[in-house]
Amino acid sequence: MWMQGYPMELLIAGRTGHEAGGSPPVPVPVLPPSITVGAHMLHAVGLAWASRLLGEDRISITYFGDGATSEGDFHEAMNFAGVFSVGTVFLCQNNGWAISMPRSGQTASESIAQKAVAYGVPGVQVDGNDLFAVYETTLEAVDRARRGEGPTLIEAVTYRVGPHTTADDPTRYREQSEPADWLRRDPLERVRLFLAEREAWSDDLQSEVEAQATNSVEDAVQRAEALPAPTPAHLFDAMFHTPPPHLAEQRAALEIFRAAQAD
Ligand SMILES: Cc1ncc(C[n+]2csc(CCOP(=O)(O)OP(=O)(O)O)c2C)c(N)n1
Ligand SMILES: [Mg+2]
């Protein structure tokens, strides 16, 4: 998202629940992250379809987890994309887990990629820990969509080595030894070794890049923290263009409550 131009301080603000981080500035071609698992795949299809109806040539790519493929939205999005040959690339990051639900409990399908068959869409499985393979596969799917040949479902097979969030404790539901095998396939380490073998990477360069990255993140955190704090009324502002009566009523009640608190 950052590479597409979503400012880092807004990404951080969004993560802290600040409304300002909820969407990027207008020219950035990225939608805000969907907290509702899977809901965004439909938006991606709608956007690419709308672009075609407007006579433009924009396509869309949507990223989601293995768990999201159990949502009805996934099937509706795939179905529409297949029937109308919409230029959307579906990229499933199959990391083996949806919080505490293993991939085997998610679907009886042998693979996620094979689900594409049911919608008349090509499905590809790729090593999700191989940067070059993922890039190549994505590029092929993007080119296909740009040529007007329709959607592709990509299953990038990877693994969630850590907890789902800081509130999650994977020792409660999986063997502690499970991540060890995957740690050896760390995609960053693989790229680093690949580059180092070709003398395109070194410890000095690593320290330099890490220092630069740390600086830019710290800078972005400061800028995010300097944003004016949202007020509770903000919750209502971003919901509807014209608020329905019950929300207008709740907002008015909140204002009375806040005024009473201030007295
Ligand atoms: C509709 C909906 N149901 C449940 C949740 C709670 N929830 C948040 S993340 C998550 C698991 C998602 O798993 P997956 O799609 O595999 O994505 P991953 O986190 O592994 O990248 C769940 C159940 C939610 N945010 N939205
Ligand atoms: Mg997952």
C-beta 69 within 6 A of ligand 1: no
Q: Find the ligand nearest to 69 CA.
A: 1
Q: Which of 51, 55, 60 is nearest to 30 (CA)?
A: 60
**Tokens (6 digits) for 214:** 């740390």
Share of the chain above pLDDT 90, in %: 83
Above 80 in pLDDT, residue 238?
A: no
Q: Find the ligand nearest to 164 CA.
A: 1
Nearest protein Cα to ligand 1, atom 13: 98
Least trusted range by pLDDT, from 82-91, 120-129, 158-167, 232-241? 232-241
User: pTM for this structure?
Assistant: 0.92
**Ligand 1 atom nearest residue 94's Cα:** 16
The pLDDT assigned to 22 comes to 82
65 C-alpha to ligand 1 centroid (Å): 8
Q: Which of 224, 234, 226 is nearest to 10 (CA)?
A: 224
Q: Is 246 a known active-site residue? A: no
Q: Could you tell me the pLDDT band of residue 107, with boundaries at 50, 70 and 90?
A: very high
Q: Could you tell me the pLDDT band of residue 160, with boundaries at 50, 70 and 90?
A: very high
Share of the chain above pLDDT 70, in %: 100
C-beta 160 within 6 A of ligand 1: yes
The pLDDT assigned to 33 comes to 81
Strand partners, 94: 157
The pLDDT assigned to 192 comes to 95
Q: Which of 26, 36, 117, 22 is nearest to 72 (CA)?
A: 36
Q: Could you tell me the pLDDT band of residue 237, with boundaries at 50, 70 and 90?
A: confident
C-beta 66 within 6 A of ligand 1: yes
Which pLDDT tens digit goes with each residue over 5-21? 999 999 999 888 888 88
Which residues fall within 8 angstroms of residue 96, CB to CB, at 6 or more apart?
A: 66, 102, 103, 158, 159, 160
Q: Is 173 a known active-site residue? A: yes
C-beta 67 within 6 A of ligand 1: yes
Above 90 in pLDDT, residue 69?
A: yes
Average per-residue pLDDT for the chain:
94
Above 90 in pLDDT, residue 231?
A: no
Above 90 in pLDDT, residue 32?
A: no
Q: Distance between CA 236 and CA 239 in Å, rounded?
A: 6
CA angle 230, 231, 232 (to 5 degrees): 120
Torsion of CA 167, 169, 173, 179, to 10 degrees: 120
**Tokens (6 digits) for 160:** 């969630």
Residues 218-231, mean pLDDT to the nearest whole number: 93
Catalytic residue among 43, 144, 164, 185: 164
The pLDDT assigned to 101 comes to 97
Which pLDDT tens digit goes with each residue over 124-148? 999 999 999 999 999 999 999 999 9
Above 90 in pLDDT, residue 236?
A: no
Three-class DSSP category at 179 = helix
Q: Is 192 a known active-site residue? A: no
C-beta 97 within 6 A of ligand 1: yes
Strand partners, 125: 155
Residue 118's Cα: distance from chain center in Å?
A: 24
Q: Could you tell me the pLDDT band of residue 182, with boundaries at 50, 70 and 90?
A: very high
**Amino acid sitting at position 263:** D
Residues 90-114, mean pLDDT to the nearest whole number: 97
Above 90 in pLDDT, residue 104?
A: yes
**Ligand 1 atom nearest residue 95's Cα:** 20
The pLDDT assigned to 8 comes to 95
Q: Identify the residue whose tokens are 């209502």.
A: 236
